[in-house]
Structure 1
């Protein structure tokens, strides 16, 4: 008996969005190596490509009705793995302050585990507009640290990353405040 076709109403995991997500995960070690070996333009280019695939896989999955359980789990893992890898490697290979990485990682993992706990209770916590702004600021900040910019850009780069940290913390707190209101 062949199991190549999914059960009625269930999408196959073999689709373009899941392939893009899987490629993103597979290329994270390459990205880390590029950063640690300070091949900045290659690291920047790969980071941009990986972030574009993040946007594409979600857009394609929703537009074509290809949302799968694998995608729901793998996509956020790929997102967190890429961002955490970028931050930690930048701590090692550049002047990104370690405290920024620590704050972002604690918030990201804390909210992720909290959302998983809520999901087990049957409560879905969707991404907020602030969460999307957080992702954009983190992405731009990391991109600026990766891109070999002139020395005078070090202050604007730091400011963008500082804004990313502030929005990261504020949105994390907002998730918890909103959840408390819903559960009362």
Structure 2
């Protein structure tokens, strides 16, 4: 049972292929359901891990990785097919690339970063999921007012930038402290 959260993360990663295929095929209603299910697995795996004590080191890697793969893939696909602005997709992708490169670099220099998502990062992920769901819903012909998309798009942009800056500042400070400790300067 304790492996259920990790299995949900892997399932979320596997759902990226059918979601991208459905989007490019113009099957927006089907995409909406599969993407909503993928978003649900994100909440469920975190809930189960915390509530049941099923957290693991693997899960700490899989969960953010699954989020990044899903959201980056959907942003890129929707930008390519003209559903979301390219600049907004590029902002989201650049944030995740920056965080990933920073984590890899930190790990190579100082070891595993033992980081937890910040509040702004969690808000950003939620905003991105809701925005992307609403953008797909609009293409599916479901109710999705332009004003809501505009407001959520702005929220995605702001939380993406703030979250990216927060990660860079936090891990730069952590790297400086780790470097000082490594060289006996602390």
Give the Cα separation in 2 of the matches to 1:128 and 1:17. Answer: 20
Alignment partner for residue 135 of structure 1, among 125, 128, 132? 125
Quickly say closer, same or farther: Cα 1:21–1:150, change in 2 above 3 A.
closer
Alignment-derived partner of residue 7 in structure 1: none
Q: Mean Cα displacement is larger for which, 90-99 or 149-158?
A: 149-158
RMSD: 2.3
Question: When the two structures are superposed, what TM-score results if normalisation uses the length of structure 2?
Answer: 0.81
Is residue 159 of structure 1 aligned with residue 151 of structure 2?
yes
Match of 2:21 in 1: 33
Query: Which residue of 1 is the match for residue 92 of structure 2?
Result: 104
Q: How many residues align?
A: 172
* Runs of 4+, deviation exceeding 4 Å: 149-152
Deviations 1:1-24 (A, max 9, x none): xxxxxxxxxxx9x72112111211
Cα distance in 2, alignment partners of residues 111 and 26 from structure 1: 22
Q: Indicate whether 1:79 and 2:28 are aligned.
A: no
Alpha-carbon distance in 2 for matches of 1:126, 1:71: 12
Could you report, residue by residue, the CA deviation over 1:77-114 in whole angstroms, capped at 9, with x for unpaired residues? 21111101111111133431111111110111211331
Segments of structure 2 that go 5 or more residues without pairing to the other structure are 178-186
| Structure 1 residue 151: Cα displacement | 8.7
Structure 1 runs not aligned, ≥5 long: 1-11
1:22 aligns with 2:21: no
Alignment of 1:105-120 (within 5 A): 105-119=93-107
Alpha carbons of 1:73 and 1:151: their partners in 2 closer, same or farther (altered >3 Å)? closer
The answer on 1:67 being equivalent to 2:55 is: yes
* Aligned mates of 2:31, 2:146 — CA distance in 1: 18
Report the Cα distance in structure 2 between the residues aligned to 1:111 and 1:152, rounded to whole angstroms.
31
